[in-house]
Structures are given as structure tokens and as C-alpha cells.
Amino acid sequence: MGKIAVIGAGSWGTALATVLASNGHQIYLYARNRERVEEINTKRTNQRYLPGISLPPGITATSKMAVAIQDAEAVFLVVPSQSVRSVSRDVAPYLHPDALLVHAVKGFELSSRKRISTVLREELGETKAIAVLSGPSHAEEVARRLPTTVVVASDDVHVAEKAQDLLINTSFRVYVNLDPIGVEVSGALKNVIAIAAGLSDGLAFGDNAKAALITRGLAEITRLGVAMGASQATFSGLAGVGDLVVTCTSRLSRNWRAGFLLAQGKSLQQVLDELGMVAEGVKTTQVAYQLARHYNIDMPITSQLHQVLFAARSPREAVESLMSRLRRHEIELLDEITPFRRIT
């Protein structure tokens, strides 16, 4: 049971720190905010992000990156997607060459449209052992030790299994997956559909509409993911349909709440200010819209949500547009979407 660093003391980073600490590891939780560090170390709470949760004694918070990273056998990166590159550069000088790096970031880099693991390899080296953690996992429930099941994915099975060993316990079950592309794409794009689901609920469109959004949203995610080199099977698993369902149906979801607040007539900036935390689906909608055009992939829900978020289209107009699309067959063969080009 060695030292593990968790970079990012938001709700998900703190929740993962509790899982790792409960497994007997020595956890160093990095936060930039010194007041939050003091609160975690003295009161054993993180009220801003996990109110009402008592943190185990195995967690030590620090605002010094060197203290968190040096001699850590594993580093969990849990920061907003748009901060990954800069944080990676901060991590690099202190990272042990043999350390395992696990990221739990659900998004893309906006400027490059790259997956998070690609950004990490550009900053930390192609040979770095990297795994991605994803799946249906609200931080609040994980911190309360409610039963949760996720996946860790890597191109290298031994890397994924090492991450699995660090995390798994009786309340946090972890499966290994060998399709990091599919897991990353699923984790990012489900937030887009969750905003649309929140809009639907906010407009009181009912369960029928939301079920259709989830189902057709999964079809969109799968089409784009396969075009990017993912395995179709991944989207039927925990990182795909599992995470999509929980994010689209729970009021604990920031992205669902973002859509719900937008449906109340609030501006995007008002919504983001009210949430007080990052809703990854907003920027991911921009990336997904661009990637769909790049690959010539049909993603009508994503396209309409992009219009709502960034072109002042009303949600009702967007739904009317979706409902009036040309007649289609439900089952679309993936081999009709050609040519597939794999990007990293």
C-alpha cells in the first residue's frame, strides 16, 4: 500500500481519494485553494464539493504539486478537460518514470479536438503508462460508499489491471476494458446528450421524449466513436449506455442541470454561474459538432444542441426540427459510414 496522488480536489477527485484511502493507500490530494487544503486536513470535509461527507484519515491535502507527486506510485488526474495540458506540464517534473497515470476526465481538449490521453502523451511521453477511468459514478454516491461499478481502460492490459487493483473494493467494482478510445469518447459525449435530456425535462416533454433522446443519443455517440477507431461493443457497456443513462436521468448530474436551467429561459452564462462547477458537456458540444463535420457523421441531436447553446436557437425550435426530420430506418449499418479514419 503505497503513496498515490490525486490531482484535483473537486467532487470527483475527492470521491476517488476516499475510495483509494479506504483501500489502505496513502493519499495526497492536490488542490490549488489553500483554504480547501486547510479544511480537508483539519475538518476532514470538502463542503463546497461534497457537503456532508466525512473524509477518511488516509487523505492528506496539499497545495504543493511536488509534495503530492514525488515518489507516488500512481497519479490520478481529475481536473477539467481544458486544464489537462497545463496541469500535465506542472506534474511532469515530479512524476516518477514508472508511475501509473490514471485520468478520470470526461471531455476533449477544445482547441485541438484531441482525446485526453493523447494530450497526456504529448506532454508526458508516449511510453507513459496511462489508463482512463469512466462509467456511471456520481461522486456523491461514491463518497457515501453506495454500490458503484466502473471501467478502467488502456491499450495495455497490465496497466488497466494495475489501476483496477488500486481501486476495487466491496462498494466500488472495477472492470478492465481494452478500448480507451471508446471509453473516452463515451465519457465525453454522454454529457452532450445529458444537457439535451435536461432541456427536455425542463420543458416538461415527458419520459417518452427523454427515452428517445437517450436511445438516439447513444446511436450518435456510437457512430462518431467507431469513426474515431473505437470498438462498437464499448458503447453497450458501463462506459457507454451505463454512464449515459445515469447522467441523463439524475438531478445529481451537472450537465442535466445545465440543460434544465437553460429550459427555464436562463442564458448559458447564467447557468454556468449558478452551477458553480464545470459542466463538461458545454465545451464537448462544440468539439462533437466539429468532429461530426470532420468525419461526415450524422449527429442531429448534437447539431441542434449546438444551435441552442451557441446560436440562440430556442429549445422548442430544436425539438421541432428533430421531430420533423426525413423518414429513416431505425437500424443503420455501421459499415455504411465510410470511410473510417482513426485519430488519436
Q: Which residues are catalytic?
A: 190
Residue 7, C-alpha cell as written in the block: 490531482
Cβ atoms of 307 and 318 closer than 8 Å = yes
Contacts (Cβ under 8 Å, ≥6 apart) of 128: 101, 120, 121
Identify each DSSP E strand in the chain by its residue range. 3-7, 26-30, 59-62, 74-77, 100-103, 108-109, 114-115, 130-134, 148-153, 172-177
The whole-angstrom separation of Cα 17 and Cα 29 is: 7
- Residue 27 sits at φ, ψ, to 5 deg, of -105, 130
Chain centroid to CA 263? 23
Is the CA virtual torsion 302, 307, 310, 316 positive or negative? negative
Please name which of 278, 134, 256, 257 lies closest in space to residue 193, comparing C-alpha atoms: 256
Cβ atoms of 21 and 89 closer than 8 Å = no
